[in-house]
């Protein structure tokens, strides 16, 4: 046993006062001889021992009263062999859950505010010499300071600045980083505290199997930390979230109307009536719809919008209803609206007659409004050139190039074409009766190392043979997924009477620029109909038959127009750096045609601004921002250019169900940790580990009991003597 106030324990010496009084009173008497004394001698002999015992009991009680009072004031502690020195510094690592479910409102405020308050109390309580590290738990683990620090007050100040909205909850990544960090901290005693709402969707994986791995990782550390789970908050019913916004994957032009589908889910057990869904474009309210949400049900809302200006735009949907969690009530997407998409059509078999040139049908499909003299404008701007008049300058100026029954190219144009694809261009190759098979095989396919997906082998199909059809299937490729909805057209309606067999590569390429080759569609005899190859930053798409009506009636079918439109616009849009990503993926802005380095300002979802410099990559200025740790819109502003990126997170946290107490206890047992209901509970347990158990309350009760006992005994013994 030890004392928190050891000097005050000296007050126990006050027991000498009643002892001295007792001794002095015993010596203050005188002998008086009187005649009847002999009559009392027998009584005295009988009661002497009882009188003496009563006096000793009363003396003992009176001595214990000051002793108990002094010990109570000195605050004694019951200690064990493992108890630390109370002033021993520790290494404290706090994993603070800042995922978006922590922003749910409950009695007394949000869970996040309660968690931050608990973390501040823990950090502020550490002794001098302790090092502290706080790791925010989100889609990615984010420390509030780069490394452990010995200034606890600095950590407390940074905790005051912590905000939520860090997306989902990657527990495995956070624990891996926490374990690696605490293993390098300074002090012999180490504490790992996890403050979270312990949402079921996040912690189920730990509960179902990863707990043993976590325990093993902690056991294998040089100094094993004390693991403590601190639950914060309670289950909040009735959340509504926007799960996604579906938007066109292809390139969109100014003035072109498109539909946006907003997917909404009600995670609560009660129906939500009259929920308002608002569509905003660049922050301006454009449309409102009202819906009812069934309990634990989903619904969709459709909006149509046409952008008047090209550039980077933000479309946001928001649902407004009685909801405890506002973070997931909004969802944003970044839209790139194109001005014009230049397509160069290289005609290998030109003709003065209408629809007889090799590129006539594809030209109509790409520019239907312009050729039909409609008021609407086409996104695509085509230029047709005969193969013998093709120049390197025309190749360099195009976004998309179509080779239609081109026999072969001169060496300079071939080199320019390969460079065009490598730098991010899109190439379409259509065969015909004029192509030089050997040139395509040796110059463009180049033994599996070139830009062509596959070599053309032999021409198949005869006039008298039955025509073949394109296999109707579920298409995974973005360009063809449009036809998974049969109302958009059926590719199997077309008949293919003649085609070139394309031999699929059997081995991988030795050229690092050539990344992947795939078959997009097949004929009903299993021959490839459409193939794709990624080369450098660009793409080549190769068809087995012609783009005119010589070998197939596909150009005569209504499905031909959306097929060509989807192939060109979707493939071209894929070559633009993505603008809609998940947390952690870098946002990359490309400034084409600019040679000098530029300065760009990045505005984050939290409202802060960062200045970054562009760098020259393959002839273009590229700005890269990697700290996309918070979901939301990141806006790049620079020289005459604004670019928006929408960063998303998984919406599993929108279900606010928490682990129940039994599950938490199972997890604690499996990981070898402990629980603390609050920071007060944790600090009390920590004090017990450091100092032992305080027993002053029991001593106070004993002091009061002995006071009462002294009065009772005094009265009783006095009556007995009387």
Torsion, Cα 362 364 365 367, to 10 degrees, reads 120
pLDDT at 59 over 90: no
Dihedral-angle region of residue 124 (phi above 0 means left; psi in -120 to 50 means alpha; beta otherwise):
alpha
What topology does CATH give the domain 341-574? Rossmann fold (3.40.50)
Residue 550 token pair: 């010589």
- Which 8-state DSSP code applies to residue 36? T
Question: What pLDDT was estimated at residue 80?
Answer: 52
What's the pLDDT at 119?
Answer: 95
Residue 398 burial (C-beta neighbours within 10 Å; 0-12, 13-18, 19+)? buried
Mean local confidence (pLDDT), 567-583: 87
Given this model, what pLDDT does residue 77 score? 60
Position 78 scores a pLDDT of: 64
Per the structure block, which two tokens stand in for 511?
Answer: 């050229």
When pLDDT is cut at 50, 70 and 90, the band that residue 116 belongs to is very high
Residue 660 confidence (pLDDT) above 90? no
Pick the most confident of 69-73, 83-87, 422-426, 595-599: 422-426
Model confidence band, residue 31 (pLDDT cutoffs 50, 70, 90): low
State yes or no: pLDDT of 26 exceeds 70: no
Q: Residue 424 has which token pair?
A: 């991010």
Place of tokens 């040679």: 595
pLDDT digits (tens, 9 = 90+) for 141-192: 999 999 999 999 999 999 999 888 788 888 889 999 999 999 999 888 899 9
CB–CB of 279/368 below 8 Å? no
What pLDDT was estimated at residue 74?
A: 76
pLDDT band at 49 (very low <50, low <70, confident <90, very high): low
pTM to 2 decimal places = 0.76
Query: Residue 691 is inside which H or E element, if any?
Result: helix 679-691
CA dihedral sign, ordered 49, 50, 53, 54: negative
The yes-or-no verdict on residue 79 having pLDDT over 60 is no
Q: Can you tell me whether residue 380 is helix, strand or coil?
A: strand
pLDDT digits (tens, 9 = 90+) for 489-518: 999 999 999 999 999 888 777 888 898 899
Span 381-398, mean pLDDT? 92
What's the distance, CA 711 to chain centroid? 70
* CATH number for region 240-332: 2.60.40.10
Weakest-pLDDT range from 45-54, 133-142, 424-433, 561-570? 45-54
CA dihedral over 685, 687, 692, 696, signed as positive or negative: negative
Confidence of residue 1 (pLDDT cuts 50, 70, 90): low
Domain boundaries, the chain: 2-82+695-721, 91-235+656-691, 240-332, 341-574, 580-645
The three-state secondary structure class of 695 is: coil
Q: Is residue 715 over pLDDT 50?
A: yes
Greater confidence (719 vs 548) lies with 548
pLDDT of residue 264: 95
Instruction: Please state, rounded to an integer, the average pLDDT across all residues of the chain.
Output: 87
Rounded distance, CA 170 to CA 98, Å?
11
Write the pLDDT tens digit of every residue in 441-456: 999 999 899 999 999 9
Q: Tens of pLDDT along 457-466?
A: 999 987 667 8
Model pLDDT, residue 280:
95
Residue 133's alpha-carbon distances to 88, 177, 231, in angstroms, are 18, 11, 19
pLDDT score for 34: 60
Nearest to 292 by CA among 317, 314, 271: 271
Lowest mean pLDDT among 206-220, 307-321, 539-553, 622-636: 206-220
| Average pLDDT of the segment spanning 427-439 | 95
Residue 644 DSSP SS3: strand
Check pLDDT > 60 for residue 670. yes
How far apart are the C-alpha atoms of 221 and 184, rounded to whole Å? 10
The confidence band for 43, taking pLDDT boundaries of 50, 70 and 90, is low
Architecture of domain 91-235+656-691: 3-Layer(aba) Sandwich (3.40)
CA 306 to chain centre: 32
Two domains, one topology: 91-235+656-691 and 580-645: no
- Does residue 720 surpass a pLDDT of 60? no
Q: What CATH number is given for 580-645 in this structure?
A: 2.60.40
What is the pLDDT at residue 167? 83
What value does the mean pLDDT take over residues 596-607? 90
Q: Is the pLDDT of residue 113 over 60?
A: yes
Six-digit token string for 645: 């990126």
Please provide residue 239's backbone torsions phi and psi, each rounded to the nearest 5 degrees: -100, 145
Mean pLDDT of 113-140: 93
Lowest mean pLDDT among 58-62, 296-300, 536-540, 643-647: 58-62
pLDDT at 35 over 80: no
For residue 124, what pLDDT is reported?
Answer: 93
Query: pLDDT band for position 81 (50/70/90)?
Result: very low
28 C-beta neighbours (distance < 10 Å), count = 6
DSSP-derived 3-state class of residue 463: coil
Report the distance separating Cα 354 and Cα 204, nearest Å. 66
Q: How far is CA 139 from the centre of its chain?
A: 2
């Amino acid at each position: 046993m030890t004392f928190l106030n050891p000097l005050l324990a000296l007050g126990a010496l006050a027991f000498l006062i009643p002892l001295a009084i007792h001794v002095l009173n015993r010596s203050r008497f005188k002998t008086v001889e009187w005649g009847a004394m002999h009559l009392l001698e027998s009584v005295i002999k009988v009661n002497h021992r009882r009188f003496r015992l009563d006096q000793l009991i009363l003396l003992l009680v009176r001595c214990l009263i000051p002793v108990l009072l002094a010990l109570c004031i000195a605050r004694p502690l019951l200690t064990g062999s493992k108890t630390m020195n109370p002033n021993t510094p520790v290494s404290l690592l706090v994993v603070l859950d800042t995922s978006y479910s922590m922003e749910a409102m409950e009695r007394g405020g949000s869970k996040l505010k309660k968690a931050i308050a608990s973390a501040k109390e823990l950090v502020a309580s550490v002794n001098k010499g302790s090092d502290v590290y706080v790791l925010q738990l989100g889609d990615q683990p984010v420390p509030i300071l780069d490394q452990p620090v010995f200034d606890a007050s600095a950590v407390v100040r940074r905790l005051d600045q912590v905000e939520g909205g860090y997306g989902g909850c990657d527990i495995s990544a956070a624990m891996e980083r926490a374990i690696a960090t605490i293993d390098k901290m300074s002090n012999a005693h180490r504490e790992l505290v996890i403050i979270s709402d312990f949402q079921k969707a996040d912690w189920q994986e730990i509960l179902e199997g990863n707990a043993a791995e976590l325990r093993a990782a902690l056991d294998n550390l040089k100094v094993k930390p004390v693991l403590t789970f601190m639950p914060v908050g309670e289950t909040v019913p009735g959340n509504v979230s926007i799960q996604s916004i579906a938007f066109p994957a292809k390139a969109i032009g100014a003035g072109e109307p498109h539909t946006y589908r907003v997917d909404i889910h009600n995670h609560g057990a009660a129906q939500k009536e009259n929920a308002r869904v608002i569509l905003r474009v660049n922050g301006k309210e454009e449309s409102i719809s009202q819906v009812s949400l069934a309990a634990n049900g989903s619904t969709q809302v459709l909006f149509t919008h046409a952008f008047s200006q090209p550039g980077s735009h933000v479309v946001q949907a928001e649902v407004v209803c009685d909801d405890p969690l506002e973070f997931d009530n909004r969802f944003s997407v970044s839209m790139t609206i194109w001005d014009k998409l230049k397509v160069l059509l290289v005609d290998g078999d030109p003709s003065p007659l209408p629809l007889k040139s090799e590129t006539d049908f594809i030209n109509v499909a790409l520019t239907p409004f312009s050729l039909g003299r409609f008021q609407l404008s086409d996104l695509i701007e085509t230029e047709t050139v005969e193969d013998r008049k093709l120049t390197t300058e025309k190749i360099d100026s195009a976004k998309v190039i179509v080779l239609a029954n081109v026999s072969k190219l001169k060496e300079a144009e071939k080199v320019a074409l390969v460079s065009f694809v490598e730098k991010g261009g899109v190439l379409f190759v259509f065969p015909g009766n004029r192509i030089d098979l050997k040139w395509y095989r040796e110059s463009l396919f180049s033994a599996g190392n070139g830009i062509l997906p596959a070599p053309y082998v032999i021409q198949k199909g005869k006039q008298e043979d039955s025509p073949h059809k394109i296999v109707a299937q579920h298409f995974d490729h973005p360009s063809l997924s449009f036809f998974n909805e049969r109302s958009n057209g059926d590719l199997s309606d077309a008949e293919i009477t003649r085609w070139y067999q394309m031999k699929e590569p059997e081995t991988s390429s030795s050229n690092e620029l050539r990344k992947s080759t795939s078959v997009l569609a097949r004929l009903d005899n299993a021959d490839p109909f459409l193939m794709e190859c990624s080369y450098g930053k660009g793409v080549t798409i190769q068809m087995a038959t012609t783009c005119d009506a010589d070998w197939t009636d596909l150009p005569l079918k209504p499905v031909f127009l959306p097929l060509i439109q989807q192939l060109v616009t979707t493939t071209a849009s894929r070559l633009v750096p993505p603008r809609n990503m998940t947390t952690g993926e870098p946002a990359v802005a490309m400034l084409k045609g600019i040679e000098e380095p530029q300065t760009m300002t990045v505005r984050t979802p939290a409202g802060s601004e960062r200045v970054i410099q562009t760098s020259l990559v393959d002839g273009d200025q590229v700005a890269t921002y990697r700290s996309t740790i918070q979901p939301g819109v990141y806006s790049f502003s620079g020289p005459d250019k604004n670019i928006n990126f929408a960063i998303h997170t998984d919406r599993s946290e929108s279900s606010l169900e928490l682990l129940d107490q039994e599950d938490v206890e199972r997890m604690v047992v499996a990981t070898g940790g402990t629980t603390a209901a609050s920071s007060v509970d944790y600090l009390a347990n920590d004090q017990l580990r450091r100092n032992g158990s305080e027993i002053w309350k029991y001593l106070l009760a004993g002091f009061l009991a002995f006071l009462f006992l002294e009065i009772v005994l005094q009265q009783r013994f006095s009556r007995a003597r009387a």
